[in-house]
């Protein structure tokens, strides 16, 4: 269809739109065949396959950070009333003692004050041990930083891989052979420094999905496995 | 009861996790704790110092925990040093590989304070510490 044809009829005729569809179809087929010939379809496929994995990992990071924040906030919510009680009771006893020193009362009143003070002192270690437990809980909640950090590092590998696959597609589809070779060399030099890979079969980091095979889901399963093996 | 002066080396590439493990050990009464950030750093420190217990991560740059463990077991000075692995690696083949390489215990992350204490005590009992 030439620009003239378009200018003549603002509404394309049925015939013209049929032809357009036909041409787009032909182009798409050509592109697909060329890609297959060059092996590019495989590269694009590999890049696309990495995306669901990255999505699982992002989901894991989101869930872990939320869980950690909740754990810490819950611990604070539990510790605060204990702290308040500790402080209120000390203040009230302090006020009573101040009054007694200002104006010493009968022995009976003083006895009650001493009794209440002793009972408070007896309870303090229990209460501080409760808040101590909550502080420990807040600390343990920070383990998400290590776990999500490992998953994010893995994701950066995945993203780098996608980038490399896509750059490869661009290079392979460059029309000029000289330019293509130069680009290929440049890209490979860069990738070599990036892909400083070790044997990563046993380095998977945290489990991001619940249903992974051949993977333990808690410490009990670790202990059982080691027991079974006689370790 | 283990000696509270026992010297620990805690190895993890994440400073947050090293702090957590250090605090848990302190909670259990062990205050003689040093840190290393990967397997290589740890081996250097172990060879220079006099450590009695190692708590190590697996997945670390430079030298990972398993490779470090294998090197320790080949080294006469370090072959009997107890090693507790504390790692997020949860594949069965990982646990088996660690046990075969001579790990004394395996704790999978995320873990609780109680789990760490239990595994430490189990190793102390076995070694008669």
Q: Is the pLDDT of residue A172 over 70?
A: yes
Q: What is the pLDDT of residues B22-51, one digit of tens each?
A: 999 999 999 999 999 999 999 999 999 899
Mutate to test the interface with B, among A57, A143, A148 (most CBs of B within 10 A): A143
Contact A144, A70 (CB under 8 A): no
The span from the CA of B123 to the CA of B127, in Å, is 6
Distance CA B67, CA A199 (A): 11
pLDDT at A7: 46
Minimal C-alpha gap between A96 and chain B (Å): 37
Contact list in A for residue B109 (CB cut-off 8 A) is 143, 146-147, 206
Interface predicted TM-score (ipTM) over 0.85? no
Question: Is A147–B113 a contact, with Cβ atoms under 8 angstroms apart?
Answer: no
- Quick one: pLDDT at residue A22? 84
Query: B13, B16, B107: best mutation site toward chain A, by most A Cβ within 10 Å?
Result: B16
Q: Give the pLDDT band of residue A49 (cuts 50, 70, 90).
A: confident
- Going from the C-alpha of A105 to that of each of A89, A111, A119, A190, B68, the distances in angstroms are 21, 10, 20, 86, 72
pLDDT of B56 > 60? The answer is yes
Q: pLDDT-derived band of residue A37, with 50, 70 and 90 as boundaries?
A: confident
Q: How high does pLDDT run on average in chain B?
A: 95
Longest dimension (CA), chain B: 36
- Whether the pLDDT of residue A52 is over 90: the answer is no
Residue bearing tokens 């603002």? A10
Is pLDDT of A196 > 50?
Answer: yes
Chain B positions in Cβ-Cβ contact with residue A198 (cut-off 8 Å): 64
pLDDT of residue A44: 76
Q: Is A230's pLDDT higher than 70? A: yes
Say yes or no to pLDDT of B60 above 60. yes
Q: In this predicted model, what pLDDT tens digit does every residue of A63-100 receive, in sequence order?
A: 999 999 999 999 999 999 999 999 999 999 999 999 99
Give all strands of the β-sheet with B105-108 in edge-to-edge order.
B33-36, B8-11, B53-56, B83-87, B105-108
Tell me if B16 and A146 make a contact (CB, 8 A cut-off): yes
Tokens describing residue B127: 């070694």
Position A17 scores a pLDDT of 82
| Contact residues, chain A, for B95 at CB < 8 Å | 216, 222, 225-226
* Average pLDDT over chain A, rounded to an integer: 85
- pLDDT, one tens digit per residue, over A209-228 is 877 788 898 999 999 999 88
Q: Is the pTM of this model over 0.95?
A: no
B92·A215 Cβ contact <8 A: yes
Instruction: Yes or no: say if B74 and B45 are a contact pair by the CB < 8 Å rule.
Output: no
Note the pLDDT tens digit of each residue in B6-30: 999 999 999 999 999 999 999 999 9
Residue B76, burial from CB neighbour count under 10 angstroms (0-12, 13-18, 19+): exposed
Whole-number Å distance between alpha carbons of A166 and A48: 10
């Amino acid at each position: 269809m030439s620009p003239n044809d378009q200018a003549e009829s603002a509404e394309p005729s049925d015939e013209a739109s049929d032809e357009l569809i036909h041409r787009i179809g032909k182009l798409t087929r050509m592109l697909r065949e060329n890609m297959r010939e060059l092996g590019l379809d495989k590269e694009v496929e590999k890049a696309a396959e990495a995306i669901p994995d990255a999505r699982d990992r992002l989901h894991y990071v989101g869930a872990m950070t939320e869980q950690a924040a909740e754990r810490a906030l819950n611990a604070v919510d539990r510790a605060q009333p204990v702290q308040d009680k500790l402080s209120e009771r000390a203040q009230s006893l302090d006020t009573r003692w101040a009054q007694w020193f200002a104006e010493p009362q009968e022995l009976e009143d003083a006895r009650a004050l001493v009794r209440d003070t002793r009972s408070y002192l007896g309870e303090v270690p229990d209460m501080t041990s409760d808040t101590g437990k909550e502080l420990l809980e807040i600390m343990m909640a920070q383990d998400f930083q290590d776990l999500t950090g490992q998953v994010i590092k893995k994701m950066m590998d995945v993203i780098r891989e996608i980038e490399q696959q896509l750059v490869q597609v661009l290079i392979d589809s460059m029309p000029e052979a000289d330019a293509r070779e130069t680009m290929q060399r440049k890209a490979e030099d860069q990738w070599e420094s990036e892909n400083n890979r070790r044997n990563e079969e046993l380095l998977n980091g945290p489990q991001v999905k619940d249903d992974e095979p051949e993977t333990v889901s808690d410490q009990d399963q670790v202990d059982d496995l080691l027991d079974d093996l006689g370790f | 009861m283990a000696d509270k002066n026992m010297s620990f080396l805690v190895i993890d590439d994440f400073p947050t996790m090293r702090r957590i493990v250090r605090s848990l050990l302190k909670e259990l009464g062990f205050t003689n704790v040093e840190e290393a950030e990967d397997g290589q750093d740890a081996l250097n420190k172990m060879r220079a110092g006099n450590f009695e217990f190692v708590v190590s991560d697996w997945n670390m740059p430079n030298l990972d925990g398993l490779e470090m463990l294998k090197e320790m077991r080949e080294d006469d000075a370090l072959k009997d040093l107890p090693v507790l692995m504390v790692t997020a690696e949860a594949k069965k083949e990982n646990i088996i590989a660690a046990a075969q390489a001579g790990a004394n215990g395996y704790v999978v992350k995320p873990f609780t304070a109680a789990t760490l204490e239990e595994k430490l005590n189990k190793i102390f009992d076995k070694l008669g510490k």
